[in-house]
Every structure is written in structure tokens, then in C-alpha cells.
Chains A and B, each alone.
Chain A
Amino acid sequence: MSYLDVLILACPETIVALAALVVLALDLAVFRRRPWATRMRFGALAVTIGCLAALSWLWGTIPVRPLLHSDDVLVLNSLTHLIKIVVLLLTILTAWISIESQFTDHVGEYFALLLFGTLGMMFLVSTENLLMIFVALELLSLCLYTMTAFNKQNVRSAEAALKYFLFGGMSAAFLLFGFSLVYGLTGEITLGRIGRALNPSTLQPFNPSTLPDPLLIVALIMVMAGFGFKVAAVPFHLWAPDAYQGAPTPTAAFIASGSKVASFFILAKLLVAGFAGAGGAAAWRGFTQGWMPLVAILAALSIAVGNVAAIAQSSVRRLLAYSAIAHAGYALVGVLAFGSPTPSASTLQPFNPSTHHGFTALIYYVVTYACTALGAFGVVAIVEGSGSTVQRFNDSTVGPPDDLRAFAGLGKRAPLLSFCMLIFILSLAGIPPLAGFFGKFYLFAAALSSGKDLALLWLVVFAIAMTAVSLYYYLQVLKQIYVAPPPRLDDSTTQRFNDSTTQQPFNPSTLQPITPSWPAQASVVILAAAVVILGLAPNLLVGRVLGMVDASRLFLR
């Protein structure tokens, strides 16, 4: 295969990379002296054009059969195309939300990093080669670290970025170590061949009597640690609340949405295709060695810690961070459902249709969650952007700008925005008929139908119970928005403000109606509409993905 062919296969990625360079160059050369708002809008426009170009290429070239590059460096099928389209759309909306927050003067660099991060995700989605997975993951992570540190006026931003970076570095080390152990065990670096090598008799892929090598266990745990960090699963989640709180809001939104979609997609592929023979079992009191009990423990811990810890949060961003941890736990349940052998599985075809349902449920869940999280962060960005200057720069005086109380009375100040937030929050909590409900429904249904004798029943029951707990903190946000009266800054606050900034008198701008810029508003409304539509007609996505999972013949090559 010549380089030209590779270039054609990777054309969308090339377009995104070029777009990043163009944004950078144009901003430096042409727009440097323009007003800040113009540069921001131009940047968002350029990101939109670049992503749309890549997206239309993807749309036009959905492959009927899987296209491969040697050593599975690039694996393209209709499913990877779909995920890439989703990622690109999320990037566009993230760029629109960015317009609202004024955190940096380096507009060109910011949008270029956003696009490079997207590039990382796209490669991550379309590869089944361990080396390529690692490189793409690092490309994505490095962009995210830098974007987290982008608010130089805020100490928290730098602190969060440093933690994120240190954590990420350590996790990357674990991941690489794990990969190298896998290579040492099998001598292969592509997922399909690793799967076959770990599992010498392909006719009996799920033989419980063959216990895996201890070295394989270590490798598995190392890999899971690396990915647990990426998807913020307990106990590798410790960076998440700090990063979500300290990072500029669009960055946090990006971490919560696009990067989650790509990471879960590749994690599921890695575990199910690469470690096909080392599944083990995760039934209650019936754990056997393999990646399934590991994922089950991570899922249960994430669901428990995420939901309980979120209750005590007074900052909306930290609340969303813990919510993200809990949702990562739910999604891991989907990974389990995907990987579990089903009773009806014939020996020749281990991945029967109900496993496809597991993968479909996982994709539906992650995509709808990404939309919801991005929308919720969009609302947070707008509310923070509308706060008085004192709230943005001097958080020591009034408290963090994303304090729950900043949302008090939002229902009156911004009815449309509040309504969108209502949709997002209820969807996160899993209230029908929103997408979050069907996501959980499909996920749990798939988990129940997989494995022998309702093997995952304990996990599903636990997850459902914790979902009920989660209602408490989700409704806290809604209570602030719709029930609580708008904040009345008392005299002492005013006094403190007037002491700290003597240039201008106190302006209670928190009480005025919020007027966000139209792209930010539009992206929030689009996401809310998407959440409602995907909830009302889940088959729009589910039916398509089912067909694509079938067509991609993911594991039968």
C-alpha cells in the first residue's frame, strides 16, 4: 500500500490537521490586532469549516466493507465513520461554546489545540494497532493538558492542569508498560492477532478452565489503569474533579464529551477484541480471572463513589465531574455487556447478535451522554460568562463562579437556557422520555441479557439503586434554577467588592437577564433538541448502529 493510499484513507484526519494549522497561521498573521471577540468568532468559524469539510468527506465515503491498512494501523468501517462524525460534531459545538468564555488571548493556539485533540480522537477511533492507540491517546491527552492550563489568569487552571498532567503521565507509563507486556506475551501488536494469540484454540474461545498467565493479569491491570484514567473511573478518577473545576469551561466540556466517546469506543474494542480469550467472569460471587471482574469492580466503584460524592458538592462543575465519574461506571457496565459471552453463543460465532446489542447500547449511551454533558457545560459556561467581573477573576471574594447559588433564579433570568438545562439534568438523571433514560435502559437490558443466568444482575441492581441516589443532587441544581429566589448579594459582599475593586461601583449584574451570544445559545439548543429527539426516537441511532456493527464485521476478520 502506497503512501497515497494511506493519505486517502486518512483524508478526514488530514483535513482536520490542515485546518488546525490554518487557524493558527491566520490568527497569528491576520487577526492578531483585531478585537478579541472577532478573533474568537473567526476561530470558531474556522473550526466549524474544517470539521464540516472532514465530516462531509466521511459522510460521502462510508465504506461498505472494512478498509484496512497493513498492521491494522488504520481500520475503517461504517462504525468508525459514525463515531468520527459524532466526534467532529461535538468539536464544532464545543468551539461555539468557547465563544462565551473570555479566558485567553491566545485564540489561535486554543482552537488549533482543540483541532489537534480532535485529530487524536479520530486516529484513536480508527486504529486497532497498540502503538497507534498509544500515540493517538497521547496526542489527545497532551492537547487536553494544555487546554486545561489555558486560563492563565486563574491559579486553579494551572493547578488543575499540572495535576492532570502528572496523573496522565503516570497513567501513560502504566499503559505503555501494559502494552509492552502484552507484546512480550504474544509478539503481536494488532488487536485481532493478539486476541488469537492469547486464545490458541479459536473454536473454544471461552473455556473457563484455562486460567490466564499472571503476567497477563498484570498487563491487563496496567492497561485498565491507563484507560481508567482516560475515562475517569474510580480509583483512577482523582484528577477529574480538580480538572473539571479548574479548566476553562469549554475544555472541561471537551474532556467530558468528545474524549469520552473516543476513549470508550477504543476501550471496548481493545478489551473485547484484544483480550477476547481473557474475559473471565463477573458473576456475583463467581469472579474468575480476566478483565471482566476488573471492569465490574471499576464500574461498581465508579457508580458508588461518583454518585455519593456528588451529593456533597456545592460547585456545579465538581458536581458534573462526579456525575461524569458515575456515568463512566454505567458505561463500563455496557463494556461488560458487550464482552460477556451469551448462553446462545455458538462456538463458531462467539459474537452473536445480543453482543451487538451490548456494543450498540454502549455507543448509544456514550453518544447521548456526550451530548448531554456538553450541553450542561455549555449552560455553565454561559452562566459563568454572564457573572459580574468580580465573580470571574476574584473567586476568593464571592466564592467560585460555578457555585450552585450562581444558578439561583436562572429560570427567570434566562428561560430558554434554563429549559435546556432542565432537559440535560433530567436526561443525566435518566428520566423518560429523554435520551438518558433510553441509554440506561438499553445498557441495563443488554447487561441482563448477557452472560449465563443473569450473571450481571448484581451490578445492574446496584446501578439502578445508585441512579435513584443520583436524583438527589441532580434535582438540587434544578431546585436552584427554578425554585430558589435570585441571589441578593448582601451588604458585606458589596462592601468587599467595593474594597477590592475601587475603580467602579458595584453593579448587581447577576440579577439581570442573561443574553448569551447566539452561537453558544444555538449549540445549547441544538444539543437539547438532540437529547429530546434521540430520546423520543431512539431507533434513529440504535437501528443505524446495530446495522453498522453487523456490517463492520468487527470481530470476524
Chain B
Amino acid sequence: MAALKVGSVTSAVQSLWLIPVLPLLAAGLLAFAKQRHRVFAGTLAIVALVASFIVACGAFAATLGAHGERAVFNFTWLQFGETPLRLGWVLDPLTAVMVVMVTLVGTLIFIFSVGYMAEDENFTRFFCFLSLFAAAMLGLVIANNLLLLFVCWELVGLASYLLIGFWYHKPSAAAAAKKAFIVTRIGDIGFFIGILWLYAETGTLLLYDNGNGCLEGSALAQLVARTTIGGMVVSTAIALLIFCGAMGKSGQVPLHVWLPDAMEGPTPVSALIHAATMVAAGVFLVARVYPLMDADPANVAGHSPALCVVTWIGAITAIFAALIAVAQNDIKRILAYSTVSQLGYMMLGLGTGGVAVGIFHLITHAFFKALLFLGAGSVIHGCHHEQDIRRMGGLRRFMPLTFATYAVGMMALAGFPLFFSGFWSKDEILHSAFAWAPSRWPFYLGAAGAVLTTFYMTRQMFYVFFGHNRADEPAGHVHVHESPAIMVVPLVILAAGAVLLSIVGTPAWPWFHAYLTGHAAAVQPVAVDVILIMLLSTALVALGLGLGWWLYGRRRIERADSPDPLEALQADTFTVLRQKFWIDEAYDKTVVRLNRALCRAADWLDVFVWGGLVALVSYLAVGIAWVNRLIDEYVVNLGFDKGCGSVRWTARLLSLWQNGQVQRYLRALGVALAIFVLIFIWGCRG
């Protein structure tokens, strides 16, 4: 029976390539579609992704009974000399969970986009890019080769760039696209160097290859045994370089600056790429190379230097972004900073608790954050592209369905106890951070972040859905409307997901945990400290909610331009937070300015030094040519030679040879033969 199930994983891995290829084909076809083929574009993209979803479900089902069995499919792509370059894909619980999540959330967001983008004239292009993104993301998830993973990683970045700048006529969107591309590239340089180094050390980039992959025993032992600069183990150095890429993609401090700006893209893009899937790719990457991250000469699981860095960066990001989110007014920006903060939690979970903890939060977050973003999209759509929460208010009455689903998302994000998936996944992270031996501080940071999360979400809810409408319209003429069914239905499904997912990850029945680690799930008694942490986080949520209500819900907010209650209370703090700690400005003053100076220096070098050298050489050449010409005209005095000055003239000379007279050709043949014989009998004596 076991053999049969293992067999089903190995057979499922054969068809895994279909998952990215189907959306890729859709993208390729849509690239050629005309602007007016709107129905065709939407249908094709959705059908392709649904088909991928079905294949993904098959793969998922195959892994269910396989107890963490891993199947790989590797093939030779190129062969030069004796070294083959092999690519491949891998099917394990991590892959299976990710492909199902990406295809499911992606499908819902595609459907939502049909409604949201209905007015846009570049509808076909939008779906082409979305499909390209889905293909790249799915390719990234199934890749069993770091090079293939990197290629998809960059393709994902490209799709993100194209979609952030989708409304490229808006200067802010164009700038945001550029910023996202460049900032993530900074991390990718580290990632790429890490890949090269890894290849140099192990000679393979296959992750799993029946014992010869770079994440498997022998290669890891080899990496751990060597040390490099500063006594650091090679595996740690490579892991940190790879983590650089993850930091860029997942918006970890200090490379988080691009993610809030990326909200210039259409809202479905924010939901799909900049909340649910792409930004989680960094977290996924860390989970994928977890054995490398975890490799440590001391051999204490979970305490390797690389994982400590991951933990600390994650904890700092979690609190830092949550603080900034408190003082923002743009509905999407609040969610963006919230995303950054949650990604920090995932890193914290990976660092302290391992793959299952981080990935569970990734999955639940994908659902409720996609839900929140689509809800925000619905709100923006309903308010005629108003994004400032101060100009909303009272939407609960006009958009009841959106309100209900948004409230579910908010509860899940805040970690409202028992019924919402966010509670369980966040609780697991806090618990593992609490149990983390090296330091208790990440736990404190995470706990404080949890209060802030509830606080800023409560603030947003009160601003958007409660009170009265503060738009610049005369009272009684509110034009807010509920969104069409094609937008609301995905919201409802996502909301259901955000609630139901909580079933699989409770401490009493940690099915998800068991599934990822390959154990059998069993109902187990809950330990005392777990219950303590649960009570604590419930208290934290209550504190956040209470604070939020006290500041924002107690009194009605009268006018759109009235100061924020928190600003009235703590003006200076609020300013610091609203200005996002002046990180952007600091970068502008340091990195960007340095870069400009370097550019100017390079330009100067180019113009004066290199250009001067080139000019010098050319003058020299012209001088020689001039002398040559004098000699030619007056000494050799052959007009023929003047014609040989350029390649084209040489070519014409060769054509002269080709004059069409067959006698001459044949004579040339004979002469050539004779010359060759002479050369070889007398010329080549070795």
C-alpha cells in the first residue's frame, strides 16, 4: 500500500510541468490577441489557471498519503563537454501546498479582475501579464534547480514590474515600478552570488537529486566543513546571500521600501502579487533551502547563525512595519505595511519554529490578505477610486457584503481567537518565538506587533465602515454602491477560506504541521504553555481592539480634514510614523546620492579619460592614415589603393573576383590547387 502511494507521488511529479506551462501558453496566446478580444482574454486566462488548479489538486492529493515523501523529475537540458546542466522539478508537501494556494487564490483574483478591470481599455494586456505572472510563480514553486528557480524568480519580478507600471501614463506608477524592480534587484545580486558560490562549492544546483543534490547530506556536510572570511561556515555565508534575495522579494527591512509604493498598480495586482503570492516567494525560498539555512557545525536544530539572522530580521520587520501602518491614510498603503509586517512574522516563524510554522502563516495570510485587498478594491471601486480612508466612512450600510467579508479578513489578520485562521497561525509563531532559546526579544517584538496589528486594523475599520460618509459630496447624495457579483463572490469564497483554514492547524490537531513534516496527524493534548500563549495573545488582541475603539470608535470622526485622534494625543510620534521613519528620504540622501555621484564620476571618466584615449588613438590613426595617404598618392600613386579604405570596399573587391566569367573561375580553381600543393609540400615541415 505504501509503495502504491509513493508510486502515485512519482507519477504525479511527471505531470507537474503542466502547472506552470498552461498559464504560460495562455500568456503567449494573449500576447498576440487584439485589444478588443476581451471576453476571449478573460476566459482563456481563467480557464488555463483553473486547469492548473486541477492538476495542482491532483499533485496535492498524491502527497496526502505519502508521509512527506519527495519525488523529483530531473532531465538534462544542456550538455557541454562532460558537464551536463540539469533542470527539474520536485513534488513534496511544500510544493503541493504552494501550488494549490497559488492557483486557487490566483483563480479567485483573476475572476475578481474581470469585474474590476471591466472599464480598462488594456484588458487583454492585463490578463496576459497576470497569466505570465502565474506561470512564473508556479514555475518558481515547483523548481528543483536553483537556476531554474532564479529564472522564474526574475520572471516574477518582471511581471511585477509590468503590472505595477500597468497604468504607466501615471508618473507615480512608472516610478513605483522602477523602484520595485531596482530595490528587489539589490537583493537578487546577493542571491545570484550565493547561487554561483553554491555551484562552485558543490558542482550542482539541483536541490534534490537522490542524494547528490545541493540540499542533501553529502553536499551539506561538505559546505559545513569549510570556513570562509571571519571564521564563518561556507553554508552560512551562502545561506545569508540567498536570504538577501528573499529579503528583497519579501520586503524585509531594510529593503521594504518598494512594497508600499507598489500599490500604484491595479488593486487585483496588489492582492495577487504584492500580498498573497509573489512577496511570499521570499519566505518560500527560505523554506525551500531550509536544510541549507539550518546547516550548522554545532548541529543544534534551529539555532544556526543564518536562522538567527532570519529570526531577527523578521522580528524587526514585524514591529517596524506595524508601527508605520498605524499612521497611514491610504487604504492600500495600510494593507501594504501590514503585509510587510506579516511577512516579518513568517520569517520569525521560519527562524524559530521551522518550515511548517512559517508556511502555515504564509497560507493563511495569503487567504485573508487577498481577501482584504480585494475588499479594499471593492471599496475603491464603490467609492469611485477614492483611496483615502478619511474620505470614506459609513460604508457598512452601502456595501454590506463587502463589509462582512472585510470584517472576516480583519479579524483573521488581527488574530481574533478561535474562529479565524490568523489566530492559530500567529499563535504558533508566538509560541515558537517564546520557546526560542537564544533570545526572548523576538517574542516581545512579535507580541507588541500583534497589539499594533489589531490597533491599525481597528482604526481602518472605524474610518472606512463606521460613522458617516465624509466624501466631498452634499449629504444625501452618496454615490457609493455595492460591487457586482463577479467581484463579491471571490470575496465570499476567500472569507470562507480564511475561516475554515483554522481547522487544520490548531495545536490540538496540528494536521498541517504533520503533513509538512511527514508525520501522521493525531489529536493530542494541548500543553500548558501553549494555552498560556493563547490566553496572552487573546489579551493582546483585546488590548489592540480596545485601544482602537477608545481612540477612533468612541467619538464620531466629523470631517475628512480633522486631525487624527492619535495625532492629537502624540503629535511627534505620529509625524515620525506618518513619514515612515524617513527611510525613503534617508535612502535618497545616502544611497541614491552616492549612486548619482558615482554616475557622474563614471560619466566624467567616460567623456574625458576613455573618450580622450579613444580620441587620441583615433587622431593617431588619422595621422598615420594621413601619412599613409601621402605616401600612397605621391609614392605609390595608385588610385586603386584608395578604394580599399573600408570594409565595404574590400567587399566590392571580392565581388570583382566574382565577375561571372567561368573561365576565370576555373583558372582560379587550378591556381588554388597548385598553390595548396606547393604550400603543403614545402611549407609545412612542422
- What residues of chain A have their CB less than 8 Å away from a CB belonging to chain B? 159, 162-163, 166-167, 170-171, 174, 208, 211, 214, 217-218, 220-222, 224-225, 235-236, 238-239, 241-242, 280-281, 286-290, 293-294, 297, 305, 308-313, 353-354, 357, 438, 441-442, 445, 449, 469, 537-539, 542-543, 546
Contact = CB atoms under 8 A, between A and B. Distances in A.
A222 B650 CA distance: 30
B635 interface: no
B3 to A, nearest CB: 31
B676 A546 contact: no
A357 B679 CA distance: 31
A288 B680 contact: no
A449 B82 CA distance: 11
Contacts of B80: 441-442, 445
Nearest to B646: A311
Contact of B654 (A166, A309, A357): A309
B683 A287 contact: yes
A167 B669 contact: yes
A92 B80 CA distance: 32
B530 to A, nearest CB: 52
8 contacts: A159-B660, A211-B686, A217-B677, A238-B657, A242-B658, A288-B684, A311-B648, A537-B77
A242 B681 contact: no
Most buried by B among A208, A211, A287: A287
A224 B675 CA distance: 13
B669 A308 contact: no
B684 to A, nearest CB: 5
B662 interface: yes
Nearest to B665: A238
Contacts of B650: 308
- Counting contact residues on chain B (CB < 8 A from A), the size range is 20 to 34
Most buried by A among B77, B654, B668: B654
A543 B680 contact: no
Question: Helix, strand, loop or mixed for chain B's interface?
Answer: helix
B673 interface: yes
Nearest to B676: A221
B210 interface: no
B600 interface: no
A449 B665 contact: no
Interface in B628-668: 647-648, 650-652, 654-655, 657-658, 660, 662, 665-666, 668
Contacts of A171: 669
Given A162-B662, A163-B662, A166-B666, A312 B680 contact: no
B665 A167 contact: yes
A314 B681 CA distance: 40
Contact of B81 (A159, A167, A288, A354): A354
A238 B668 contact: yes
A225 B668 CA distance: 12
A-B interface, 3 closest residue pairs, ranked by CB to CB distance from nearest: A312-B651, A288-B686, A235-B672
Contacts of A170: 666, 669
A179 B677 CA distance: 16
Given A167-B669, A235-B668, A289 B651 contact: no
B76 interface: yes
Question: Helix, strand, loop or mixed for chain A's interface?
Answer: helix
A351 to B, nearest CB: 16
Contact of A353 (B82, B658, B668, B673): B82
A218 B685 contact: no
B79 A289 contact: no
Given A289-B685, A312-B651, A238 B81 contact: no
B200 interface: no
B658 A241 contact: yes
A297 B676 CA distance: 10
A297 B679 CA distance: 11
B77 A289 contact: no
B669 A312 contact: no
Nearest to A354: B81
Contacts of A218: 677
A312 B665 contact: no
Nearest to A241: B658
B662 A293 contact: no
Contact of B655 (A225, A288, A309): A309
A238 B669 contact: yes
Nearest to B680: A217
A162 B651 CA distance: 25
Most buried by A among B651, B657, B677, B681: B651
A287 B686 contact: yes
Contacts of B672: 225, 235-236
B654 A305 contact: yes
A235 B660 CA distance: 15
B81 A280 contact: no
Contact of B78 (A225, A288, A354, A538): A538
A159 B660 CA distance: 9
A289 B662 contact: no
A469 B651 CA distance: 12
B647 A294 contact: no
Nearest to B683: A287
Nearest to B86: A539
A312 B652 contact: yes
A307 to B, nearest CB: 9
A49 B39 CA distance: 42
